[in-house]
Amino acid sequence: MLSFMDWSIVAMGCASVLTGLGARWSARAEAQEREDRTARLHWSRLALLMGAVLILAKAPQLLDAPYLAVEIADAVDLGLSIAALAFALRGARYVRAGSRRGLSGPHGAGRD
């Protein structure tokens, strides 16, 4: 049962990566339709990073990787976690700054 739960975490990480890639593709397609190509992709990056963190947290142990490979994966996982936190804080600050200016969203969709 425990192995199934570990593999479900890896599957959620894969789903998060695929969701992030889909959101990134959608945002790029939307930005190409608009004249300004300054669409920010903070939240798609966050989904990609969190998916990679989930995968790297469990996959090496489940695949019976050598100890050195597990330690390297843990170190990379820590770095990705810090990067994901930085992206989340940066994106939240950007959204909050937009709401202070009276805009409805991060891209100023509510402007007249």
Residue 110 within a domain: no
Residue 107 within a domain: no
pLDDT value, residue 89: 87
Banded pLDDT at 95 (limits 50, 70, 90) = confident
Residue 91 within a domain: yes
pLDDT above 70: percentage of residues in the chain: 78
What's the rounded mean pLDDT across residues 70-74? Answer: 92
Structure tokens of 25? 């593709």
Banded pLDDT at 24 (limits 50, 70, 90) = confident
Model-level pTM?
Answer: 0.69
Residue 86 within a domain: yes
Distance CA 63, CA 12 (A): 17
**Number of independent structural domains in the chain:** 1
Structure tokens of 46? 């966050």
Q: Collect all residues with Cβ–Cβ distance below 8 Å to 52 and sequence separation of at least 6.
A: 13, 17, 80
Instruction: Give the structural domain span for 74.
Output: 2-100
Residue 65 within a domain: yes
Residue 108 within a domain: no
Radius of gyration of the chain (CA): 18
Residue 87 within a domain: yes
